[in-house]
Chain A
Amino acid sequence: ETGVTQTPRHLVMGMTNKKSLKCEQHLGHNAMYWYKQSAKKPLELMFVYNFKEQTENNSVPSRFSPECPNSSHLFLHLHTLQPEDSALYLCASSQDGAGGLGEQYFGPGTRLTVT
């Protein structure tokens, strides 16, 4: 099993709800990521935190709001989502030094359905 946990594993929410996804890594890594995976599409990188600083925001709509309180925890706050946001949301972590390693460890994901 990986050292990255995510909760909840499944979430159904209405378009007016507010919810949060949680990710925790127990690997001592210094970088954490949020990805979106839709059916038959490549993983889409949403946010990157390196040493707790957000270093990437791939034009993600503001209805998705990340939070990284420390190097082990990562949240994704959701509000006023659209049905097309239904997808598998994956958290990952890695230990990155100069040049980057590129080996990322994924959590089991949260399967989100927006109704």
Chain B
Amino acid sequence: RKEVEQDPGPFNVPEGATVAFNCTYSNSASQSFFWYRQDCRKEPKLLMSVYSSGNEDGRFTAQLNRASQYISLLIRDSKLSDSATYLCVVNKPDDYKLSFGAGTTVTVRA
């Protein structure tokens, strides 16, 4: 089983729509969770960390479900500039290595 699994998409949504997608992870001991964003032919950049209680950053909301071992990302009021690949990332306790998912591609159309 892969350490981190994501639906590759693509999720094609109109501007203003809400889009949400999940990521599952295999290691129940994982402690840190992140969403990274990668634009086409660019490097990944940290979008947001995911906290146990869930967290929001503007139009982006991240949730963690430890029992089912998944994290989610919800984007409200989608903008054209939200078009990117979203990478789910986890690491383990006392471990500075990250496990990356292959990414979920979101395309927002006008």
What is the interface of chain A, defined by CB distance below 8 A to chain B?
Answer: 2, 31, 40-43, 45, 48, 50, 56, 90, 94, 96, 98-109, 111
Band of interface residues on B: 20 to 34
Q: Is the CB of B96 within 8 A of A94?
A: yes
- Chain A residues within an 8 Å CB radius of B4: 42
The answer, among A90, A102, A108, A109, for a CB contact under 8 Å with B89, is: A102
What is the interface of chain B, defined by CB distance below 8 A to chain A?
Answer: 2, 4, 8, 31-32, 34, 41-46, 49, 87, 89, 91, 93-103
Task: Write the chain B residue with the least CB distance to A104.
Answer: B98
Task: Write the chain B residue with the least CB distance to A48.
Answer: B97
- Please name 19 further chain A to chain B contacts, defined as beta carbons within 8 Å, in addition to the given A99-B93, A102-B89, sorted by A numbering: A31-B96, A42-B2, A42-B101, A43-B100, A48-B96, A48-B97, A90-B43, A90-B44, A98-B94, A99-B31, A100-B96, A100-B97, A101-B32, A102-B91, A103-B49, A104-B46, A106-B45, A108-B42, A108-B43
Task: Write the chain B residue with the least CB distance to A109.
Answer: B43
The answer, among B42, B93, B102, for a CB contact under 8 Å with A42, is: B102
The distance in angstroms between the C-alpha atoms of A95 and B99, with both chains bound, is: 17
Q: Is the CB of A50 within 8 A of B96?
A: yes
Task: Write the chain B residue with the least CB distance to A103.
Answer: B46
- Chain B residues within an 8 Å CB radius of A100: 32, 91, 94-97
